Amino acid sequence: MMPADLAPHEMLLHRLAEKDQRRTLSVACGIDFSSNDYLGLAGSDRLRRGAIRALENGVPIGAGGSRLLRGNHPEHEALELEAGAFFKADRMLYFGSGYLANLAVLATLPQRGDVVVHDALVHASTLAGITASKATALPVAHNDPDGFDTAITQWRQSGGKGQVWIAVESLYSMDGDRAPLPALAALADHHGGFLIIDEAHATGVHGPDGRGLAAALEGRANVVTVHTCGKALGCSGALVGANDVLCDILINRAKPFIYATAPSPLAAATVRDALRILTTEPERPTQLRELIHFANDRLTQCPGIACSGSQILPVVIGDAGRTLRIAAHMQRHGFDIRAIRPPTVPRGTARLRLSITLNVNITEIADMIDCLSGVMRKEMP
């Protein structure tokens, strides 16, 4: 048997390293300024007790099969009913992750002959779904409603006759800024299309009771939402909210739903507890908003840093190598801050992605920003 030739793969890793783009794994260490555990629920006693209680009541850890075979558990259905009532969606489906949910929605709902007009900065999972779709894909400049309108109009004028699908994030994961949802919803109505909104970084943090930035649009027949459960909710999986017809299409046609083992029933039970926390512990998002305001206000005092106004604060450095060095300095000072590099972000916009969560306090935020200011001065380009 001839040995496998690993040389092409080794060369690929070498080229990534030369461009400061090679990724490695590292264990979480230091004060948390990089996670998406915005409400500090992932390690909370309440979720831990809820999981123990569910196990003691016989809820299984694994589903044992896909939802369409033997894997459909009462905890899945209870979560979907309760989440539908909480988010005010017609119906909800529970997926194993936000990536799978976006992949399923975008690869399944738009049909051949349709068009998906998407913000240029949507998440990789949304792009994966669009790529897997048979629909035409049209990227539009970030947060530009006029650009969406122009792209749709030109597509119609060139002979496009199918459905229009608009795909955006409500709060962008790498920039921390908000999508112009009212304007985009009006465009979807005007063009007789659908609006798909990824609420991953807004769920639990923004909107009434943490229902997200699209809360006012939830339940409309032409709106599809994706609520990730692994960020502010501290659990895992994702909930897709849509009308009955679209949910049935996903059940019947979405390969990530049909052919994947169902999410853990224990995880579904824990997400139910997380949703209850949003309504019974309103002090959590209130405390987080105070920290977000403090961090944004403090960062405005740092030259060259533009604040987002949200819990996601990008510090754009530009050069990937310098970004890695600054992140390493911050880690040595005890702050868990990570470098985000192309292709995750556009070329020339390598950055530190600062994340504000309830795992830190005001003193730690102030110390981190003071330290960052000093490190950036030492690491001048």
Give catalytic residues, as residue numbers: 36, 123, 169, 173, 198, 201, 231
What single-letter DSSP state applies at residue 210? Answer: G
Q: Cα–Cα distance between 295 and 290 in angstroms, integer?
A: 9
Tell me the chain's radius of gyration from C-alpha atoms. Answer: 22
Buried b (16+ CB within 10 A) or exposed e, 255-294: ebbbebebbbbbbbbbbbbbbebbeeeeebbeebeebbeb
CB-based contact 79:268 (threshold 8 Å): yes
* 340 DSSP β-pair partners: 351
CB-based contact 153:181 (threshold 8 Å): no
